[in-house]
Amino acid sequence: MAMSAPDPQGDVRAALELGVKAATAYGRPDLVQRLNVTLERVRKPDVQVVAIGEFKQGKSSLVNAIVNVNICPVDDDIATAVHTIVRHGEERRAFALVKAANDPDGEGQRIAIPLDQIRAYATELGGIDPSVIVKGVEIEVPRKLLADGLILVDTPGVGGLSGAHAAAGMGAISVADALLFISDASQEYTRAEMDYLAQAMELCPGAVCVMTKTDLYPRWRDVLEINKGHLARLGLNLPILAVSSMLRMEAIRREDKELNAQSGFPALIQYISNDLIAGKARTNRLTAQRELYGVCDQLAGQFEAEKSALTDPAAGAALVAGLERAKTRAEALRGQAARWSTTLNDGVGDLTSDIDFDLRARMRAVMAESDSAIEAFDPLDSWDEFEPWLTNAVSQAVVANYRYLTERAATLSSDVAGHFGQEGQELFADLEIHNAANVLSRVSIDPHIEVEDLGRGAKGLSALRGSYSGFLMVGLLGSLPVLATVGAAIIPIQIGAGLILGRKTLKDEKERALQRRRSDAKNAVRRYSDEVQFQVGKDSRDTLRRVQRQLRDHYSARAEELNRSTSEALKSAQDAVRVAEADKSKRIKDVQAELDRIKNMRAQAERLTQSPTGQSAPARQAV
Amino acid sequence: MSEHLIAGTTELLDGAERAFAGAPGAEALAEARRRLHEPLRVAIAGKVKAGKSTLLNALVGERLAPTDTGECTKIVTWYRDGHTYQVILHPRDGSAPVQVRFEREDGAVEVDLGGRDPVSVDHLDITWPSSNLRKITLIDTPGVDTLSEGVAEKAYEFLDPKDTETPADAVLYLMKHIHASDMRLLEAFHDEAVSQPNPVNAIAVLSRADEIGGGRVDSMASARKIAARLARDSRLRRLVQVVIPVAGLLAESAETLTEREFKLLTELATMSRSELETYLLSADRFIQGTPGMPLTSLEREELLGRLGIYGIRQSLALVRSKTVHSSVELSRELVSRSGLTDLQTILTTLFVDRAAVLKCRSALLAVERLCEQNPDHPGAAGLRLQIEQIMAMAHPFNELATLAAIRTGRIKAREQDLLDLERTLGANGTTPWQRLGLKQDTPADQIRTAAYESIARWQRLAENPLSPHELSQAARIGIRSLEELAVSLG
């Protein structure tokens, strides 16, 4: 375990640090900041893996077995009630995310709890301070796999009677990098499970199926084959890994390699460390490379311009003129009137009202269905069943609304990126000087990189990550107000009453009481719906504001950089034109040296994706 | 008592047949009358792979229904007692039923559908001479929540048909854990005005109970605890009477245990416990084994497939400790440990002893539905009044209705009072000692004393001005039950 492995991300960090040094030396704090952000991402590549599935399928056991520690509570009967986040820490510690029971809308708190209290906080068992509501549990354990960036999230199972419905876990899923869909080997997939999986994958497409408890079922291979068939028929191309958490824990206890192999865990661990963690590292590596290319090009621009003005004074004048025009355009790119900025501001405005309308339409449909359902039953008899139906329907509506928001925000982001890229391109459209234009046009590669990065979908928008999660993850869906009048004015129907009272009066009274219960129920539903719309509406407006701010900040910074690079290039070219003939050859030599230095930096960035270790990190096993 | 009820119900059916002669839907009455004289019909329902066919086989004591690793039962299948072995297929399109061929494969009845699509078959009716089917007819249903098209709806249609009452008098509901879709199906079984949501004719079975605890030796104890907790859950209480854990596979295999299997187990028991446990860590290890381990890999696989890990552990412990010496003894012991014995007892006290009431209830439902469908028919109003009279006057119905009212939370009182009242009304069985919560062999005079004490208690409750009206009513029904009980003691 303690064996010191060579740091696979060392070269990326070294290249980025060199870039920071260079940008500092050339007096470009804007570029320094940009590289630092990337550096931070490489240092801490959080990979969130969320275990989902129906209740009592062995999710907590699986999480325990992956990190080899008995820390998520496991029980035959009592199920996990809140999200449990397992991450790296220097020592074992546990925290509970709680809110005051009398102020459910207030700020949450993160309080340290003793390890032996995890069970009380994380399961349906309860038995903790009733003045707080537990929203989640965080556990820190020192483990290599976790130190590499893995964050495991154990979720309450869906499908049971108590609380957790399919939509409740969607918040955690929407911020996940990958899902582990868990179902035990006792039987093939059910329709409810497949519906849930499909829904989850719309929010997080990276998923792998895990079949647990293979130790218990001699025919698990048959079940595996049947399940593969089900997945294929549904068009889901997912691998299924068969594991036994019990065997794995036993293998670790006995330090038995063979038993560990039988548990099926090596394949799962390999998937997590090779495909997920290393995959994330690869993505980060590519990002780092792109950022470095961009920085090199921007830095090189000024020296290329100076060099070309120094070597050919006639062309130098034209170059200065061209750069002046480019500078004016770059300045315009910074302002409010820039096309990308208009696109962004108008887009967010449209989006806010569209999202709001979408939510209203969906909620109205749920309400209509709910009203007609209430007309058809007696709330006294069926309220207990109706309530889960309603909360589920409402959370489905909220999730659908959230997906709509995600899609639209991604489209907006790529529109903005498109406009910015186009304008950046036009900056240099009429620069005809061959060498400078070549070099400078590379500056405009930069916006394209951003198009790729931010435009490739919702995942690039960090502002979207975690939106609604405040709402969904902690299950703020709240609860329906209890029907106060239930139980009042009930006449036992068959206990001979029909013969005591006149048939008609009894019937009328029953009818009146039923109508009253129904209208009470409808009112309760309406209050609930208003509350949900208010909360979700606020959440989505906040999210959109965050998206707007993120995009604005990002492109403003890029515009600022372009502006600065163009200014520097212009200044260098102007200076070069004025340089005395005697100093020229010395200056050309200096400029060439700077260019060579930048070229070296670029070459180092290029190597990031060529070294064999850069392509795939060596498989590591936690045992 | 139940004779009165049957006589009253027959009279009602006579009246209904006269009033509705030739009217649409009147054939339901003939069916209702036939049902009155048949054994009680108990449907076995639940989600896909809950172990329905397996439990059915255990209850019949013979491997009749085919079972498999994948989804197996796709057609509603009736198993009833008769003189000959035969299978009748009822097509879905309403055409005439046909007799079809079948063969027994590994004991199970494999029906030859003659090239028909299972979806086109309404149900199969299997007649099989069996003493265990004499008192109840068992109905196997396809699982809900299946991924097979056209099968999922069948169980719903069966328990909650659109235009007739359900053909089952009572239901055994199987579940692994209680799942939200379990609740939906159970509710489908309870929706008539006569019954209201009514737990009196449903029993929940925590099937595959041995798997809950991962096959550990204490798995069944763990499952019993869970069952007890579920039985207190208000949502489940209003739908079922009790929750019973059963290790279905073990029960089926124990009922049909062969001499050869016993011999194989004896041979396996020669290994030491600790040695065996290292193999029992997983099914794969047990089957693969190592050279020198008793039995062939195939034999071990066969045993494991029959008994499951929990069953193997229990059997070997029994053989090793010399608690059992023959396949008969082992079979009996395993049946008891699988929870099947408990289930059979509960079935008898709650369903079989009440068969007349449950069957009459089904008949009343049929007539009521007919009246509802033809509200303007001249005889309808009179028949409805007659139904209400039977319901009100027949004390067993009042008991059931009151039980249901307590279970659904319509009657508010102290919890202990409600529990005792439920018991008095026969929730745990209808014999005097069961109603009074006494031991089985309590002498008659002690029972009498207890009955009078109990009557006094409910009288106080009924007459207490602070008791809500509904509670007083319920207490009076309890008093009536106890009075009848005291009279029967002489």
Among residues B240, B224, B229, B247, which one has the least CA distance to residue B172? B240
Say if residue B115 is in the same domain as residue B203. yes
Say if residue A501 is in the same domain as residue A573. yes
**Percentage of residues of chain A with pLDDT beyond 70:** 78
Whether the per-residue pLDDT at B252 is higher than 90: the answer is yes
B216-233 in b/e burial notation, b at 16+ Cβ within 10 A?
Answer: beebbebbbbbbeebbee
**Beta-carbon separation of B282 and A247 below 8 A:** yes
DSSP 8-state assignment for residue A359:
H
Alpha helices in B322-354 (DSSP H): 327-337, 340-350
Query: What gap in Å lies between CA B57 and CA B77, rounded to an integer?
Result: 13
Instruction: Please check whether residue B369 lies inside any domain of the structure.
Output: no
Looking at the complex, report in whole angstroms how far the Cα of residue A74 sits from the nearest Cα belonging to chain B. 11
Say if residue A562 is in the same domain as residue A417. yes
Whether the per-residue pLDDT at B160 is higher than 90: the answer is no
Whether the per-residue pLDDT at A506 is higher than 60: the answer is no
Q: How many of the other CB atoms lie within 10 Å of CB of A613?
A: 13
Phi, psi of B177 (to 5 degrees): -135, 165
Question: Which residue does chain B place closest to A217, by CA atoms?
Answer: B283
Q: What is the pLDDT of residue B479?
A: 93
Instruction: Please check whether residue A269 lies inside any domain of the structure.
Output: no
Whether the per-residue pLDDT at A477 is higher than 70: the answer is no
pLDDT tens readout for residues A95-150: 988 877 776 566 678 889 999 888 888 887 666 777 777 878 899 999 988 988 89
Say if residue B7 is in the same domain as residue B110. yes
pLDDT tens readout for residues A200-252: 887 777 899 999 999 999 999 999 999 999 999 999 989 999 999 999 999 99
Interface of A with B in 232-261 (CB under 8 A): 233, 244, 246-247, 250, 259
Query: What gap in Å lies between CA A163 and CA A392, rounded to an integer?
Result: 10
Identify the CATH number of the domain in which residue A68 sits.
3.40.50.300
Instruction: Please check whether residue A278 lies inside any domain of the structure.
Output: no
| Cα angle for residues B393, B394, B398 (degrees, 5° grid) | 90
Interface of A with B in 179-198 (CB under 8 A): 186-192, 194
Whether the per-residue pLDDT at A301 is higher than 90: the answer is no
Instruction: Name residue, tokens 């590669």.
Output: A445
Say if residue A228 is in the same domain as residue A111. yes
Query: What gap in Å lies between CA A199 and CA A196, rounded to an integer?
Result: 5
Say if residue A441 is in the same domain as residue A505. yes
Say if residue A438 is in the same domain as residue A388. yes
Among residues B179, B150, B155, B176, which one has the least CA distance to residue B51? B176
B284: chain A residues, CB-CB within 8 Å: 214-215, 218, 262
Say whether residue A381 is in contact with chain B using an 8 A CB cutoff: yes
Q: Is residue B241 within 8 Å of residue B232, measured between CB atoms?
A: no
Q: What is the pLDDT of residue B197?
A: 41
A76: chain B residues, CB-CB within 8 Å: 212-214, 219, 222-223, 225-226
Higher-scoring residue by pLDDT: A495, A144 = A144
Overall number of domains in chain B: 3
B469: chain A residues, CB-CB within 8 Å: 491-492
Say if residue A363 is in the same domain as residue A228. no
State the pairing for strand pair B102-105/B40-46.
unpaired
Instruction: Please check whether residue A279 lies inside any domain of the structure.
Output: no
Q: What is the mean pLDDT of chain A?
A: 76
Instruction: Name residue, tokens 């009749």.
Output: B64
Confidence band of B124 (pLDDT split at 50, 70, 90): very high
Whether the per-residue pLDDT at A430 is higher than 50: the answer is no
Q: What is the pLDDT of residue A495?
A: 35
Instruction: Please check whether residue A370 lies inside any domain of the structure.
Output: yes
Say whether residue B70 is in contact with chain A using an 8 A CB cutoff: yes
**Beta-carbon separation of B283 and A214 below 8 A:** yes
Q: What is the pLDDT of residue A247?
A: 94
Q: What is the pLDDT of residue A505?
A: 53
Say if residue A351 is in the same domain as residue A492. yes
Say if residue A33 is in the same domain as residue A124. no
Q: Average the pLDDT over B66-90 and give the result.
A: 89
Interface of B with A in 235-274 (CB under 8 A): 235-236, 238
A219: chain B residues, CB-CB within 8 Å: 69, 305
Tokens representing A454 are 């931010």
Q: What is the pLDDT of residue A7?
A: 67
Say if residue B486 is in the same domain as residue B446. yes
pLDDT tens readout for residues A508-544: 666 777 888 888 888 888 888 887 788 778 777 877 8
Q: What is the pLDDT of residue A484?
A: 35
Q: What is the pLDDT of residue A621?
A: 39
Phi, psi of A163 (to 5 degrees): 70, -85
Say if residue B463 is in the same domain as residue B418. yes
Phi, psi of A479 (to 5 degrees): -130, 155
Residues β-bridged to residue A112: A95
Instruction: Name residue, tokens 């108590």.
Output: A162
pLDDT tens readout for residues B351-362: 888 888 888 888
**Beta-carbon separation of A77 and B304 below 8 A:** no
Say whether residue B152 is in contact with chain A using an 8 A CB cutoff: yes
For chain A, the distance separating the N- and C-terminal CA atoms, rounded to the nearest angstrom, is 7
B401: chain A residues, CB-CB within 8 Å: 492-495
- Torsion angle of C-alpha atoms B210, B211, B216, B219, degrees rounded to 10: -40
pLDDT tens readout for residues A352-371: 999 899 989 998 998 898 88
Q: How many of the other CB atoms lie within 10 Å of CB of B192?
A: 18
CA A325 to mean position of chain CA atoms: 41
Instruction: Please check whether residue A270 lies inside any domain of the structure.
Output: no
**Beta-carbon separation of A214 and B225 below 8 A:** no
Looking at the complex, report in whole angstroms how far the Cα of residue B393 sits from the nearest Cα belonging to chain A. 8
Say if residue B239 is in the same domain as residue B265. no
**Beta-carbon separation of B179 and A223 below 8 A:** no
Q: What is the pLDDT of residue B229?
A: 84
| Cα angle for residues B14, B17, B19 (degrees, 5° grid) | 110
Say if residue A448 is in the same domain as residue A498. yes
Range with top average pLDDT, A178-182, A447-451, B382-386: A178-182
Instruction: Please check whether residue B360 lies inside any domain of the structure.
Output: no
Class of residue A114 by CB neighbours under 10 A (exposed 0-12, middle 13-18, buried 19+): exposed
Q: Is residue B64 within 8 Å of residue B57, measured between CB atoms?
A: yes
- Give the best residue of A386, A494, A503 to mutate against chain B (max B CB count within 10 A): A494
Range with top average pLDDT, A47-56, B91-100, B256-265, B399-408: B256-265
Q: What is the mean pLDDT of chain B?
A: 85
Range with top average pLDDT, A116-125, A295-304, B287-296: B287-296
State the pairing for strand pair B102-105/B108-111.
antiparallel
Instruction: Name residue, tokens 């930069």.
Output: A446
Q: What is the pLDDT of residue A429?
A: 46
**Beta-carbon separation of B282 and A191 below 8 A:** no
Interface of B with A in 316-375 (CB under 8 A): none
Say if residue B175 is in the same domain as residue B271. no
Q: What is residue B316's three-state secondary structure? A: helix
Overall number of domains in chain A: 3
pLDDT tens readout for residues B191-214: 443 334 456 678 899 989 998 888
**Beta-carbon separation of A495 and B402 below 8 A:** yes
pLDDT tens readout for residues A550-599: 788 888 888 888 888 888 888 888 888 777 777 888 888 888 898 899 88
Interface of A with B in 501-540 (CB under 8 A): none
Say whether residue B179 is in contact with chain A using an 8 A CB cutoff: yes
Identity of the residue in A216, A233, A259 whose CB atom sits nearest the CB atom of B309: A216
What's the ipTM?
A: 0.80
Say if residue B62 is in the same domain as residue B109. yes
Say if residue B234 is in the same domain as residue B274. no
Q: What is the pLDDT of residue A434?
A: 32
A493: chain B residues, CB-CB within 8 Å: 196, 401
Lowest mean pLDDT among A36-40, A210-214, A416-420, B335-339: A416-420
**Rg from Cα positions in chain A:** 31
Say whether residue A215 is in contact with chain B using an 8 A CB cutoff: yes
Say whether residue A160 is in contact with chain B using an 8 A CB cutoff: yes
Instruction: Please check whether residue A454 lies inside any domain of the structure.
Output: yes
Instruction: Name residue, tokens 């293979």.
Output: A214
Whether the per-residue pLDDT at A607 is higher than 90: the answer is no
Which residue type, as a one-letter code, is found at position A484? A
Instruction: Please check whether residue A273 lies inside any domain of the structure.
Output: no
Say if residue A360 is in the same domain as residue A481. yes
**Beta-carbon separation of B214 and A246 below 8 A:** yes
Instruction: Please check whether residue B328 lies inside any domain of the structure.
Output: yes
Orientation of helix B469-489 relative to helix B444-463, angle to 10°: 160
Tokens representing B144 are 């809900």
Q: Is residue B452 within 8 Å of residue B435, measured between CB atoms?
A: no
Whether the per-residue pLDDT at B181 is higher than 70: the answer is no
Identify the CATH number of the domain in which residue A515 sits.
1.20.120
Question: Which residue does chain A place closest to B196, by CA atoms?
Answer: A381
Q: What is the pLDDT of residue A511?
A: 77
A222: chain B residues, CB-CB within 8 Å: 69-70
Say whether residue B73 is in contact with chain A using an 8 A CB cutoff: no
Looking at the complex, report in whole angstroms how far the Cα of residue A245 sits from the nearest Cα belonging to chain B. 11
Domain of A478? 312-578
For chain B, the distance separating the N- and C-terminal CA atoms, rounded to the nearest angstrom, is 16
Instruction: Please check whether residue B361 lies inside any domain of the structure.
Output: no
Q: What is the pLDDT of residue A92?
A: 92
Say if residue A259 is in the same domain as residue A401. no
Residue A81: CB partners within 8 Å, gap ≥ 6? Answer: A122, A123, A124, A134, A156, A162, A163, A164
Domain of B202? 2-247+341-352
Say if residue B43 is in the same domain as residue B146. yes
pLDDT tens readout for residues B3-57: 778 888 888 999 888 888 877 777 888 888 888 888 999 999 888 888 999 999 9
Whether the per-residue pLDDT at A612 is higher than 80: the answer is no
Tokens representing A453 are 């990065």
B187: chain A residues, CB-CB within 8 Å: 382, 385
Tokens representing A165 are 């419905």
Which residue type, as a one-letter code, is found at position B33? R
Question: Which residue does chain A place closest to B185, by CA atoms?
Answer: A385
Interface of B with A in 108-147 (CB under 8 A): 145-147
Instruction: Please check whether residue A409 lies inside any domain of the structure.
Output: yes
Higher-scoring residue by pLDDT: B123, A124 = B123
Looking at the complex, report in whole angstroms how far the Cα of residue A105 sits from the nearest Cα belonging to chain B. 29
Range with top average pLDDT, A414-418, B27-31, B55-59, B167-171: B55-59
